[in-house]
Every structure is written in C-alpha cells, then in structure tokens.
Chains A and B, each alone.
Chain A
Amino acid sequence: MSRNEIYAWSSIGLTLAVFGYYLVSIFGLPAGLENYSGQIIGLIWKVIGIAFLIQLVLDLLNSTKVGGVAKDERDMKIESKAFRNVYYFLMVAIVSLVANLLISDYISEASGQAHLLSLPFMTFHILVTILFIAILVKSGTQVFYYNREI
C-alpha cells in the first residue's frame, strides 16, 4: 500500500469519525444507544487520534523525502480523477440545495408556514454534510483507483 493510499484510508476514517461526532452532537445518539455514549464517543476520539497521527507521520515522511518519492504521476492521475468526481458531486449537491431552497421558500410563502429545509440552520447542516461527503468522495475515489486498473 502506498503512502497516498494509506493517507486516503486515514482520511476516510478521520472524516467518518468527525462526521459521526458532528451528527451525535447535533442530533444525539439513536434511541437505545444512550447507555453506550461514553464508549461511542471514546471510540470516535480514538479513530480521530489514530487517523490524525497517521496523517502527521505521512506528512513528516513526505517532507523529509525518506523512503523515495512521495507522489508520482500515477498518484497525481488518481488524485485528478478524485477531484473530478468531487467537482461533479459538489455541482449536483449545490445546485440541488439551491433549487430546494427556492422551492421551499415558494412553498413557505404560499402556505404561510416556514418549511424546515428553508431555515438557515438546516441549510448550514446540509452544507456541512455536503462538505463531509465531498471529502469522502475524494478519498473513496482514490482508494477505488489504487485497487484497480487506471
């Protein structure tokens, strides 16, 4: 496994953990899991810590150029495919969000009741979710192409 592949895996772990923590802090734990909140939060922090350490070590290795080239043309080609997929995802997600906001506003005005999705805090949560998913799309695409023909 190359350094960049390890970095992509750790990025997936870190993003999932941070996103999980974000969801737990916003919505709370699902019913029935409240008793395990300490263990779940502890697990999330462990994943965050381990992933952060892995990325720190990889960044240090890459900066010192120990163990050969840190990134070559294949890594860059895979990264470019990942960025392309993120771009497509962000375009669809942002356009859908804006369209949804316009429709929600229209419905809210017509009905006289505030629609949940048109509220600013909800838009903020959706944008944060889009950000996390975009990072996952990037890292996921990289892991995918590291394991198949490119």
Chain B
Amino acid sequence: MEDYRIENNIRVLRFQNGEMTQEELARMAGVTRQTINALEAAKYAPSLELAFRIAKVFEVPLESVFQYTRK
C-alpha cells in the first residue's frame, strides 16, 4: 500500500478569512490553539468531526481544507 498523508490549507484559509488568528479558529472549532498549530505543521491528522468543524468555520467543502495526497 502506498504512503499517503493528510495535508491542509488551514493557514491559507485563515489569511483569506480576514487574517484570522489561530486562537480565533481554535475557539470557533472548539480545540486548543496548539492543535491548530499542530494541524498547520502537518503534525496531527484530525478526526473526521474536527475536519468538518474546521471546514464549516471557513464555509468551504471539506476537500478544500484537507487533501489526502501521496507522500
């Protein structure tokens, strides 16, 4: 099986949404700022529920935030 990883555009989307801070996104998604930081650094793969919550904050489809790409 080939190696895949979950990548995301959270940092880009934050800046496209009025330069939203990690703290603001964390509050809206119901997680800690450190988790948003870990997500942006691709050090943490979120649960499906958190992925949907983040997509909902930005009001975009899930695949616009997260991509399942080959390493």
Contact = CB atoms under 8 A, between A and B. Distances in A.
A146 B44 CA distance: 10
A74 B44 contact: yes
A146 B35 CA distance: 10
B34 A2 contact: yes
Interface in A60-100: 68-69, 71-75
B38 A74 contact: yes
Nearest to A147: B43
A69 B44 contact: no
Contact of A75 (B30, B32, B43): B32
Interface in B4-47: 23, 26-27, 30-35, 38, 42-44, 46-47
Contact of A69 (B31, B42, B49): B31
A74 B54 CA distance: 15
B43 A68 contact: no
A149 B5 CA distance: 12
B13 to A, nearest CB: 19
B44 A149 contact: yes
A84 to B, nearest CB: 18
B34 A1 contact: yes
Interface string A116-148: 000000000000000000000000000000101
B57 interface: no
Contact of A72 (B23, B35, B43): B35
Contacts of A5: 34
Contacts of A1: 34
Interface of B: 23, 26-27, 30-35, 38, 42-44, 46-47, 49-50
Interface of A: 1-3, 5, 68-69, 71-75, 146, 148-150
